[in-house]
């Protein structure tokens, strides 16, 4: 890494911290409020899952953290990576951090991987770019990475193009690419969505194992409650670009406070539901270009009151650090 770019975690400090992160897309007569004041702090070795329906702002949040949004995106707030503000960092420095100190597993590896280069060439190119070692040494590292993510016949797979591998193998190759330069923060954007259940479990277990070995902090994005329960230390539930509830995985799974969180858990299929009617959340997610006043979930909420539809929704934090954004929070968070 070039001199002057701090890529090492500061002892005792969060490796990744966001404060009031806001993203708006303004084009012509459209103003889409995709992310609306997201804040969190993540320490080494910790996994935070952002859980929510499609369109809630999860993937946009990750791309904002990586600096991968289009030029017309308006980003406000603060994002610190190992003590450095990424949003004010020059583009050249940010480019050197991406893939190095912070890396990302994209939702669809077939679209993220370059179809005209082999897996080995893509991984080794990243290593050469960030660490300046020889191509031969980088290719040896690439082989070790494929073995680390448990790709069988790793030496042969180095020479494969993405289309020559299965979905599960491509996802493992994507993880190997993301880990190429030993990042301190790994962003995982729904990495198990397109995989069958057996492969999903394998990928989740692999991420947990690699995290323990490398000490990474992970931000995991999903709409799958089961995946969130499997991999998380903490869960932040996102709706209409806001965190409406957050807490430890046990707090969220055992005692959800926000009606939206309760709806997500109630509409998830599991063994204990045998013989019972599966509940659903009524209505559809809001249009982010026309958010209603007050609570964005109010039009779909079974417990809605007049106070939900207007004014500022209170944010209540419990002694344990759990947060819920709801007018009924004083009733529920202490219950």
Is pLDDT of 333 > 50?
A: no
**Residue 47 pairs with which residues in a beta bridge?**
218
**Structural contact between residues 237 and 243, judged by C-beta atoms closer than 8 angstroms:** yes
Q: Which pLDDT band holds residue 274 (cuts at 50, 70, 90)? A: low
- On whether both 165 and 204 belong to a single domain, the answer is no
Is pLDDT of 335 > 80?
A: no
- Residue 249: what pLDDT? 94
Q: Where are the beta strands (DSSP E) in the chain?
A: 16-27, 30-42, 47-51, 73-81, 84-85, 102-105, 185-189, 217-222, 234-239, 242-248, 315-317, 323-325
- For 132, the domain range is 112-182
For 183-229, the DSSP string reads -SEEEEESTTTTS-HHHHHHHHHHHHHHHHHH--EEEEEES-HHHHH
- On whether both 86 and 217 belong to a single domain, the answer is yes
| Range 7-32 average pLDDT | 81
| 324 in any annotated domain | no
- Residue 45: what pLDDT? 93
| 315 in any annotated domain | no
The whole model's pTM is what? Answer: 0.89
More confident residue, 305 or 143: 143
- On whether both 175 and 198 belong to a single domain, the answer is no
Distance (Å, whole) CA 155 – CA 36 = 46
**Neighbouring residues of 230: CB distance < 8 A, sequence distance ≥ 6:** 201, 204
- On whether both 42 and 63 belong to a single domain, the answer is yes
Nearest to 81 by CA among 17, 124, 137, 173: 17
- Residue 161: what pLDDT? 96
Distance (Å, whole) CA 244 – CA 65 = 20
The CATH number of the domain holding residue 44 is 3.40.50.300
| 306 in any annotated domain | no
**Structural contact between residues 175 and 149, judged by C-beta atoms closer than 8 angstroms:** yes
- What are the C-alpha distances in Å from 63 to residues 77, 102, 169, 187? 14, 12, 24, 9
């Amino acid at each position: 890494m070039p001199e002057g770019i701090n890529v090492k975690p500061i002892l005792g400090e969060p490796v990744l911290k966001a404060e009031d992160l806001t993203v708006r897309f303004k084009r012509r007569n459209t103003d889409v409020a995709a992310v609306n004041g997201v804040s969190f702090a993540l320490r080494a070795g910790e996994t935070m899952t952002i859980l929510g329906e499609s369109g809630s702002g999860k993937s946009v949040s990750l791309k904002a953290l990586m600096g991968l949004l289009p030029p017309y995106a308006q980003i406000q707030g603060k994002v610190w990576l190992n003590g450095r503000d990424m949003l004010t960092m020059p583009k050249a420095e940010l480019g050197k951090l991406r893939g190095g100190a912070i890396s990302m597993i994209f939702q669809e590896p077939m679209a993220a991987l370059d179809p005209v280069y082999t897996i080995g060439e893509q991984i080794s190119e990243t290593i050469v770019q960030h660490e300046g070692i020889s191509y031969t040494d980088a290719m040896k590292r690439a082989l070790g990475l494929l073995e680390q993510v448990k790709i069988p016949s790793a030496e042969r797979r180095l020479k494969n193009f993405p289309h020559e591998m299965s979905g599960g193998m491509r996802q493992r190759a994507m993880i190997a690419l993301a880990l190429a330069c030993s990042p301190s923060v790994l962003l995982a954007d729904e990495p198990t969505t397109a995989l069958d259940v057996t492969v999903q479990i394998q990928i989740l277990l692999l991420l947990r194992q690699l995290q323990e070995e490398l000490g990474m902090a992970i931000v995991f994005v999903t709409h799958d409650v089961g995946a969130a329960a499997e991999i998380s230390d903490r869960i932040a539930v996102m709706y209409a670009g806001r965190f409406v509830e957050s807490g430890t995985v046990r707090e969220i799974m055992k005692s959800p406070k926000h009606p939206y969180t309760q709806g997500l858990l109630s509409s998830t299929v599991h063994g204990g539901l045998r013989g019972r009617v599966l509940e659903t959340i009524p209505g559809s997610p809001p249009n982010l270009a026309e958010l209603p006043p007050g609570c964005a979930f109010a039009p779909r909420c079974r417990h809605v009151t007049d106070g939900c539809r207007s004014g500022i929704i209170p944010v209540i934090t419990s002694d344990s650090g759990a947060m819920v954004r709801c007018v009924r929070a004083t009733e529920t968070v202490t219950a």
